[in-house]
A and B are shown apart, each in its own frame.
Chain A
Amino acid sequence: MNAEVAAATAAPEKKEFWRWQENTWYDESKNWKDAKIITCGIDVGSVSSQAVLVCDGELYGYNSMRTGNNSPDSAKNALQGIMDKIGMKLEDINYVVGTGYGRVNVPFAHKAITEIACHARGANYMGGNKVRTILDMGGQDCKAIHCDDKGKVTNFLMNDKCAAGTGRGMEVISDLMQIPIAELGPRSFDVETEPEAVSSICVVFAKSEALGLLKAGYTKNMVIAAYCQAMAERVVSLLERIGVEEGFFITGGIAKNPGVVKRIERLLGIKQIDTKIDSQIAGALGAALFGYTLMQKQAAK
């Protein structure tokens, strides 16, 4: 078989539309070697893992990547990604806090703290001390959290029964529509009339329903809009149970999807507090800040 025939008969490369961009960032205006205390937060989520470095209580850098099938390796790789960029070694970090779904499987962590407390603390840093209600929209669950002006949790509600209304649900729709996940939000507004929300509350049935809508003549954008609306309605009903106070902030990967965020704001009638920091790192950032506080307490003894 010649090369041309082989190329023509080869299976087409399967595109992974759901795969979001992994990213690394650090503050180039600072040098970590000048810091007295360096702490790290590692958030091993069900879908993504983040490592955040905090120098003397200030965000210095982070790395966000896909969680693999092994939590310890995911934690190591996430941290290695940022350490390689800035020439840091594990020994240079004073304290490591693990959080998220795989927090007990971070081999080099000094302490594990729940993602609920870490997201509240991270949101308090990112959105300021006005933040009172936090919606954490993660890969496989959603949490509604109330906190005080110091980021301490006062009330939370976790809903981890179903993937509908989570990042994974959005990935399923992205793959079904064959549209890159980052484009779903903007495209959901490219419709003449806002369609009815997808009615299924299970992501498996929602996928079937989305297929049915396509067959019934909906455009892809309309189906995406219907799914974004369904997701927004679902998390708003979660929020309503504990109530939404002024100072609303969304963390987690879905916070980067304007199709869902703007619909949540519309349903609630309030706008979320803006931040320039990637909302996906809130949990790991909170963990690193917890580590910094613990180091300060130890130093004061």
Chain B
Amino acid sequence: MIANYGYKDGSGEYYISIDTDKCIDCAAERACLKACPQQMFEIITDDYDDEVAWVKKEKTRALAYDCAACKPAGGYTSLPCTTACTPGAIKHSW
């Protein structure tokens, strides 16, 4: 399953996409949890009883602000979460 969290408004599109099928066989040992300086991810058991990463509910409304902290330093290709997530399960739309 591809889970897209975020929104689109007048300033642009803000989505984090998580490929939960890749999460199930995580080779990075859930490194995304520690890698995100804003602690946005957590591991949950989804509706189909699979353990996957997702964006914490309270963080889904603040992605544009929370993620912005990593953008100027890391650029668009080397964000802490996408780098730590070796299977490439996490993507950003901006």
Which residues from chain A sit less than 8 Å from chain B, CB to CB?
Answer: 113-114, 116-117, 152-162, 201, 237-238, 241-242, 290
- For B23-54 the 0/1 string (1 means CB < 8 A from A) is 00000000000000000000000111000000
Contact A159 B8 (CB under 8 A): yes
10 contacting pairs across A/B (C-beta < 8 A): A154-B2, A155-B4, A156-B1, A156-B2, A157-B4, A159-B6, A159-B7, A159-B8, A201-B10, A241-B13
In this complex, the member of A152, A154, A159 whose beta carbon has the largest number of chain B beta carbons within 10 angstroms is A159
Chain B contacts of A158 at CB under 8 A?
4-6, 60
The count of residues in chain B whose C-beta lies closer than 8 Å to any C-beta of chain A is: 17
Looking at chain A's contact residues, the main secondary structure is mixed
Which residues from chain B sit less than 8 Å from chain A, CB to CB?
Answer: 1-10, 13, 15, 46-48, 60-61
Given contacts A117-B48, A152-B48, A241-B15, A161 and B9 within 8 Å (CB-CB) = yes
Contact A113 B4 (CB under 8 A): no
Given contacts A156-B3, A158-B60, A160-B60, A237 and B48 within 8 Å (CB-CB) = no
Give the complex CA separation of A153 and B20 in angstroms.
11
Give the complex CA separation of A113 and B45 in angstroms.
10
Q: Which partner residue on chain A sits nearest B13 by CB separation?
A: A241
Contact A241 B2 (CB under 8 A): no
Chain B contacts of A153 at CB under 8 A?
1, 47
